[in-house]
């Protein structure tokens, strides 16, 4: 069986493992105070072109999401996101667990618009900031989204403008940042996120690292004892250099961008094979996640050799599966899947 | 400079790194559903002799502490621990952050007694369980303690009996479990913890792993959607097999116990050198942490070559430093330090 | 100006004030341990026919809602309610503030159905109780609803059955319980709530008391240090007898039921006047709240003499207003309003 | 039996009841937006000489404490108070329940000093604001204290200066404010609290009202959606005018100050009777609470006619009881108790 079910089924890119091997006999300071975290931070701030920013390394993405959001919000503040948002559907109410309401807006291909956001915020201000309402104080979006889709620079700019107009933070979940940046048609860069967002992160877990997410506060001014918030939720790794080291290794020579771009290309090849057979997608995605609508017979045939992620039935005869490539996907695995699709 | 300041300044034991190398091309299921977690759980439950138990792997110790405690407690329950307890002093109020009061009892060499605990609990019951009081529902102790000391089997048994008498959970923070088990004079085994505690963990971060703590619920019956609690706080690692693999590797052939026992022996050698020079300890510890009282001149001399952890002034002329060995400490580092101590 | 905007714009029914006058020179025990609370509890449990129950008196309804819900739920549990539910729209995220997600289902005239609830719960169980999902553990409904509508005995029975099937609590917000029980066509009694719900309350604030809600745990078995939960959120009134006294006074001779039934009748008279003029309601309500669709001219005309609650625009030319009678509404006020409606 | 056990065993001062009678037929706006709240706020800000302040009315003191503290603190902030503080001992961990650690300092007669506070805060800053420590951000004191004692103007000024030096809020729990202001030897005024504290409240429940506490933010600038915080915890009374009305009634003609001063005088008379018999106090208190050390025989004799609050055993033969007068205590009750003391 070959896994095409997710992008976190392999250890780490060879260069990461090599870096761990090479540094294993060196002593380091604890809790993220070390040279590798410093070097990785410097590099990331250069890539994002926000020298006034600050970088923190989290072990995992759920932590990066809820710790950051709870650190930035006051008690009566709420979060706006798409109803499909990862924080709304896949993190066991971690946001509500820290005391905040999520205002979930109907998504379009996994995305929300500046207009939707502004409508929601205006309802709050039109009430005269009524005491029985929470203030929408942060907008959470994902790049890439849960459907593998991308915000354009125009869309992100519009959202950023609404956020600034109403004093809301813009937070970009970048667990799949690499796959977004590398996609055909993408017009956003890390520097755009550094300019338009208040917080975003560069995913490691799904993009070549063993684990870890590099969170960027684009302006260190919003850093109100941020590390204490992380510590309070156990999100400061004792051997923090392991995180800095991985990010430096993946980013400094472009490996991060190359291996995710390749996964996008593999995904598009697979999609084209499906299309060639007249098999459609639920959503058109240019990135490593493809949501394919299969007949039950087709699904059964492919699932004898491949593991996909089941997304549920579409109608009586069809199901949707997520076919997901990864930085670790091999060309021969794609070749084999493409051949089997064409033979369906 | 040689670090004797803590036990988390090196990557991982060579066998762990080798295991990561060997498995790096294999695909695994996510979120702890994989063979390595299964094998490690089975092995740990055998070592702890509690086949009815359940094992969960946490990335870090602060997470293991607060996630577990908040999962086990109801809203009006409190935690009893030593005033020196890690959760009381070093985790940014992570327990209070989840809504629970810590009732801190005066420590004796880092420890608390069954009598102290019973006295505190009786105050609650003598009030008629007054609505303005929280119920003490969990006792938190550490093995080894913050001062490197150990509970004896008699002490642990007495605490366990008080806990069961008053329906309180007994939770043992085992971030330094290996150093405790390997200490000269220790009479406790993993099976004792499996029998006397409700929850305990076997520390990985400080005992040879890159990171990770193996938490044992000694009776799976207390597992009320435990993994959901973990997920809610972002404590379920996506690539969970990395944790299971590390623990299996360290434990299956006894490496875990050997490397921590060695560190204890190194620490005792260092202590003996200090004693030989008439330099005393703040607390008598048989494990890898030694709390040494140095004159300011002695401290300055040693700190030109070694990094210790400053514990603060003892009097106008003396300071206390933590001299900490580790699974990664080398014989020659100890030789050198001992020589320098004797030359003070 | 005459207020028809809500049902909490007057002090208390004359009998309540008289009771306060008569008892003002008597000494009582504090925090709800007194004869009046005992007498009121006994009376309420008789009315609800649940002798095995327990009654607690809350100062206010928001407190009754969030304190009770947070007392009954575990950390990873969520609440199901209508998207129009008071806890979802009007209490500043008090439920999320205690750490729980609200799963808001689309309402029909302010109500949700057993089928909707079962569908939502099945999604959870069909996932295999996935760790990334909260367990729906409590269903919150209101009687009367935010639109003044009523659940029928058949509907409530069906919801109760679903709740028991899936081990969920059924909680009925009865802030307007009197108006529901007294409505033309209502087929539910306090005994039905005592039998079908796990928790419900009899509203005082909106039904003749100065303030206070009488919460009934229909089976004292679910009372896990309930009063401690109340205390922790400051919901145990120091002079608790004031609450017991008010409820005993209003309930023991049927005043409670008479004054709310009268308000319902007034509301229906007003509605009929509107209908006579061809003016329609947003929702058909048999209780004291009427949601009337007025042209802007009609609204302006009436609002020169009466205060209604604005519900927002319906279309370019029409607005919806809540016309609300109360236990304190006088016949002549209704006469006057009816006359003015007919003269529109 | 005559109650001398607390100061909340009677309804309300006659003038309050009269005011409720007189206003019972009047319609008011809800949730504190009404003339009585406005008048009471204006009056209180005049008394406290802080025209730039803001007043909020809470139903109860526990609410006033935890809602205010949680509104003012960030997630990683802690509260400093005396170990005897009401929030530390009598409110079921309501502060921890909102996520904040209490740093409890050893009390002296119920009080803490500016030096103690500064010592604690310096430990935090000396750590370099370490991420594993919470920031002490608010100092909570009570006037009068749990032992009926008073801060002097010099003591309060010193504490206020430390608070401002380290950017901490100074919060004064004034549940028994009247008894403090009226005490023989007191040198503090409401204007002093208005000048030296950031937040304080004027207790109603224990000082002549049915219920309610008037909280003063001495500078409205710290009011960050304060009412939303209140609403979120159910602390905004629907019929808010009942609170404003009570405070206006008690304060506008000095009744509040007269009835509490009288209770202090009664308490001192009772204390003098005890002293005349050679019976001592645990703590010397000039206010309405007296902590008297009785032999078991003396206690038994008096408790056949009077209810005191048991404070626990002092030694094998003696117990401490709180003898508490109140605004509602009658001269003849005091006469009778004094006579019985002298006849012991």
Chain C residue with CA closest to B69: the answer is C75
Q: Do C132 and B230 touch (CB under 8 A)?
A: no
Domain total for chain B?
Answer: 2
**Residue A221 pLDDT > 90, yes or no?**
no
Residues of chain A positioned with their CB less than 8 A from the CB of D131: 31, 225, 227-228, 230-231, 236
Q: Do A238 and B94 touch (CB under 8 A)?
A: no
Residue A226 to residue C305: CA distance in whole angstroms: 55
**Residue D62 pLDDT > 80, yes or no?**
yes
Digit-coded pLDDT (tens) for C13-52: 999 999 999 999 999 999 999 999 999 999 999 999 999 9
CATH number, domain of A230, equals: 3.40.640.10
Q: State the DSSP H helix or E strand holding residue B170, giving kind and residue range, or none if neither.
A: strand B169-173
- Whether residue D267 is found in the same domain as residue D207: no
Q: What are phi and psi of C213, to 5 degrees?
A: -130, 135
Q: 3-class secondary structure for C282-333?
A: EECCCCCEEEEEEEHHHHHHHCCCEECEEEEECCCCEEEEEEECCCCCCHHH
Reported confidence tier of residue B304, pLDDT bands at 50, 70, 90: very high
Check if the beta carbon of residue A207 is closer than 8 Å to that of residue A177. yes
Digit-coded pLDDT (tens) for B99-156: 999 999 999 999 999 999 999 999 999 999 999 999 999 999 999 999 999 999 999 9
Residues of chain D positioned with their CB less than 8 A from the CB of A230: 131
- Interval B251-269 mean pLDDT: 98
**Residue A132 pLDDT > 80, yes or no?**
yes
> What is residue A223's predicted lDDT score, i.e. its pLDDT?
77
**Residue B83 pLDDT > 90, yes or no?**
yes
When CB atoms are compared, the residue of A75, A90, A93 closest to C101 is: A93
**Residue C222 pLDDT > 90, yes or no?**
no
Chain D residue with CA closest to B126: the answer is D312
Residue of B75, B128, B137, B235 to mutate for C, most C C-beta atoms under 10 A? B75
Nearest of B250, B271, B252, B273 to residue B260 by alpha carbon? B250
Q: Return the DSSP state at A221.
A: G
Residue C298 to residue C293: CA distance in whole angstroms: 9
Q: Do B235 and A235 touch (CB under 8 A)?
A: no
When CB atoms are compared, the residue of A78, A89, A92 closest to C76 is: A92
Among A229, A255, A281, give the residue marking a domain's end.
A255
- Whether residue D285 is found in the same domain as residue D142: no
When CB atoms are compared, the residue of D75, D90, D132 closest to B90 is: D132
> What is residue B151's predicted lDDT score, i.e. its pLDDT?
98
Residues of chain A positioned with their CB less than 8 A from the CB of D58: none
> What is residue A91's predicted lDDT score, i.e. its pLDDT?
97
Residues of chain C positioned with their CB less than 8 A from the CB of D17: 20-21, 24
Q: Do D3 and C205 touch (CB under 8 A)?
A: no
The chain B residues in contact with chain C (CB within 8 A) are 31, 70-71, 74-76, 129, 131-135, 224-225, 227-232, 236
> What is residue A224's predicted lDDT score, i.e. its pLDDT?
80
- Whether residue C240 is found in the same domain as residue C281: no
Q: Do D94 and C233 touch (CB under 8 A)?
A: yes
- Interval D319-332 mean pLDDT: 98
- Interval D116-129 mean pLDDT: 96
Q: Quick one: tokens of A344?
A: 């369906």
Digit-coded pLDDT (tens) for D205-214: 999 999 999 9
> What is residue C341's predicted lDDT score, i.e. its pLDDT?
98
Residues of chain B positioned with their CB less than 8 A from the CB of A24: 10-12, 14, 17
Residue of A206, A224, A231, A234 to mutate for B, most B C-beta atoms under 10 A? A234
**Residue C223 pLDDT > 80, yes or no?**
no
- Whether residue A306 is found in the same domain as residue A199: no
- Whether residue A272 is found in the same domain as residue A247: no
Nearest Cα of chain C lies from the Cα of B131 at a distance, in angstroms, of 4
> What is residue D318's predicted lDDT score, i.e. its pLDDT?
97
Tokens 């109803």, located at residue: A83
> What is residue D239's predicted lDDT score, i.e. its pLDDT?
98
- Whether residue C140 is found in the same domain as residue C241: yes
> What is residue A64's predicted lDDT score, i.e. its pLDDT?
98
> What is residue B208's predicted lDDT score, i.e. its pLDDT?
98
Residue of B101, B127, B136, B309 to mutate for D, most D C-beta atoms under 10 A? B101
Check if the beta carbon of residue B344 is closer than 8 Å to that of residue B277. yes
Q: Do B59 and A59 touch (CB under 8 A)?
A: yes
- Residue D312: which domain range? 2-7+259-342
User: What are the E-state strand segments in chain A?
Assistant: 2-3, 54-58, 77-82, 102-105, 135-142, 169-173, 199-203, 213-217, 281-283, 289-295, 306-307, 309-313, 318-324
Reported confidence tier of residue C221, pLDDT bands at 50, 70, 90: confident
The Cα angle at residue D55 between residues D53 and D59, in degrees rounded to 5:
160
Q: Do A228 and D133 touch (CB under 8 A)?
A: yes
Q: Return the DSSP state at B222.
A: G
- Whether residue D270 is found in the same domain as residue D314: yes
Q: Do C237 and D60 touch (CB under 8 A)?
A: yes
> What is residue B224's predicted lDDT score, i.e. its pLDDT?
80
HSE-up of residue D207 (Cα within 13 Å, Cβ side): 33
> What is residue B140's predicted lDDT score, i.e. its pLDDT?
98
- Interval C167-181 mean pLDDT: 98
Nearest Cα of chain A lies from the Cα of D121 at a distance, in angstroms, of 16
- Integer angstrom CA distances of residue A88 from A84, B289, C173: 7, 44, 26
Residues of chain B positioned with their CB less than 8 A from the CB of A210: 20, 239, 242
Q: Cα–chain-centroid distance for residue D25?
A: 33
Q: Do D76 and B93 touch (CB under 8 A)?
A: yes
Nearest Cα of chain D lies from the Cα of C60 at a distance, in angstroms, of 7
- Integer angstrom CA distances of residue C343 from C265, C298, D212: 21, 10, 45
Digit-coded pLDDT (tens) for A91-111: 999 999 999 999 999 999 999
Nearest Cα of chain B lies from the Cα of C236 at a distance, in angstroms, of 9
Residue B221 to residue A42: CA distance in whole angstroms: 48
Q: Do A131 and D228 touch (CB under 8 A)?
A: yes
Digit-coded pLDDT (tens) for B208-251: 999 999 999 999 888 789 999 999 999 999 999 999 999 999 99
Average pLDDT over all residues of chain A: 97
Nearest Cα of chain D lies from the Cα of A228 at a distance, in angstroms, of 4
Q: Do D131 and B92 touch (CB under 8 A)?
A: yes
Nearest Cα of chain A lies from the Cα of C133 at a distance, in angstroms, of 5
Among A255, A279, A306, give the residue marking a domain's end.
A255
Q: Return the DSSP state at A111.
A: B
> What is residue C186's predicted lDDT score, i.e. its pLDDT?
98
Q: Quick one: tokens of C60?
A: 């206010």
> What is residue C224's predicted lDDT score, i.e. its pLDDT?
80
CATH number, domain of D295, equals: 3.90.1150.10
pTM of the shown model: 0.97
- Whether residue D204 is found in the same domain as residue D267: no
When CB atoms are compared, the residue of A3, A206, A231 closest to B92 is: A231
Check if the beta carbon of residue B15 is closer than 8 Å to that of residue B256. no
> What is residue D224's predicted lDDT score, i.e. its pLDDT?
80
- Interval A203-213 mean pLDDT: 98
Measure CA of the first residue to CA of the last residue in chain D; give whole Å.
17
Residue of C54, C72, C73, C76 to mutate for B, most B C-beta atoms under 10 A? C76
Nearest of A91, A58, A6, D75 to residue B230 by alpha carbon? A91
Q: Return the DSSP state at A224.
A: S
Digit-coded pLDDT (tens) for C200-216: 999 999 999 999 999 99
Reduced to 3 states (helix: H, G, I; strand: E, B; else coil), residue B60 is coil
Q: Do C230 and B131 touch (CB under 8 A)?
A: yes
- Whether residue A118 is found in the same domain as residue A218: yes
Nearest Cα of chain B lies from the Cα of C136 at a distance, in angstroms, of 13
Chain D residue with CA closest to C22: the answer is D11
Residue B171 to residue B160: CA distance in whole angstroms: 10
- Whether residue D237 is found in the same domain as residue D105: yes
Nearest Cα of chain A lies from the Cα of B37 at a distance, in angstroms, of 14
Q: Do A74 and D224 touch (CB under 8 A)?
A: yes
Digit-coded pLDDT (tens) for B173-202: 999 999 999 999 999 999 999 999 999 999
- Whether residue A36 is found in the same domain as residue A175: yes
Residues of chain A positioned with their CB less than 8 A from the CB of C97: 75, 99
Nearest Cα of chain D lies from the Cα of A73 at a distance, in angstroms, of 9
> What is residue B221's predicted lDDT score, i.e. its pLDDT?
84
Cis peptide before B125 (omega within 30 of 0): no
Residues of chain A positioned with their CB less than 8 A from the CB of D227: 131
When CB atoms are compared, the residue of B99, B132, B133 closest to D97 is: B99
Digit-coded pLDDT (tens) for A272-311: 999 999 999 999 999 999 999 999 999 999 999 999 999 9
Digit-coded pLDDT (tens) for A32-77: 999 999 999 999 999 999 999 999 999 999 999 999 999 999 999 9
> How many CB atoms lie under 10 A from the CB of residue C43?
17
When CB atoms are compared, the residue of B132, B133, B231 closest to C131 is: B231
> What is residue C207's predicted lDDT score, i.e. its pLDDT?
98
The chain D residues in contact with chain A (CB within 8 A) are 31, 70-71, 74-76, 129, 131-135, 224-225, 227-232, 236
Among C217, C235, C255, give the residue marking a domain's end.
C255
Q: B216 - beta bridge partners?
A: B55, B200
Q: Do A8 and B26 touch (CB under 8 A)?
A: no
- Whether residue A70 is found in the same domain as residue A44: yes
Nearest of C293, C318, C325, C336 to residue C8 by alpha carbon? C325
């Amino acid at each position: 069986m070959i896994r095409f079910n997710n992008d976190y089924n392999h250890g780490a890119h060879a260069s990461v493992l090599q870096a761990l091997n090479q540094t294993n006999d060196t002593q380091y300071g604890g809790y993220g105070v070390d040279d590798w975290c410093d070097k990785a931070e410097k590099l990331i701030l250069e890539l994002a072109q926000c020298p006034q920013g600050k970088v923190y390394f989290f072990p995992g993405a759920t932590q990066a999401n809820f710790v950051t959001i709870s650190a930035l919000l006051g008690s009566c503040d709420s979060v706006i996101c798409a109803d499909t948002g990862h924080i709304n559907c896949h993190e066991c109410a971690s946001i509500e667990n820290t005391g905040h309401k999520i205002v979930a807006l109907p998504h379009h291909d996994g995305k929300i618009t500046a207009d939707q956001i502004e409508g929601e915020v205006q309802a709050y201000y039109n009430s005269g900031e009524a005491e029985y309402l929470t203030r929408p104080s942060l907008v959470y979006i994902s790049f890439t989204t849960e459907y593998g889709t991308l915000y354009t620079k125009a869309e992100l700019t519009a959202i950023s403008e609404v956020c600034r107009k109403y004093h809301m933070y813009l937070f970009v979940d970048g667990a799949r940042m690499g796959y977004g940046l590398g996609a055909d048609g993408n017009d956003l860069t890390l520097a755009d996120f550094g300019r338009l967002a208040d917080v975003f992160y560069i995913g490691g877990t799904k993009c070549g690292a063993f684990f870890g997410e590099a969170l960027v506060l684009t302006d260190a001014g919003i850093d109100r004892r941020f590390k204490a918030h992380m510590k309070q939720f156990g999100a400061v790794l004792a051997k923090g250099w392991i995180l800095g080291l991985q990010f430096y290794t993946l980013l400094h020579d472009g490996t991060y961008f190359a291996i995710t771009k390749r996964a996008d290309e593999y995904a598009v090849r697979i999609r084209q094979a499906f299309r060639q057979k007249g098999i459609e997608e639920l959503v058109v995605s240019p990135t490593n996640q493809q949501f394919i609508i299969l007949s039950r017979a087709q699904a059964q045939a492919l699932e004898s050799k491949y593991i996909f992620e089941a997304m549920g039935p579409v109608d009586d005869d069809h199901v949707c599966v997520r076919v997901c490539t990864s930085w670790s996907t091999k060309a021969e695995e794609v070749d084999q899947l493409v051949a089997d699709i064409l033979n369906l």
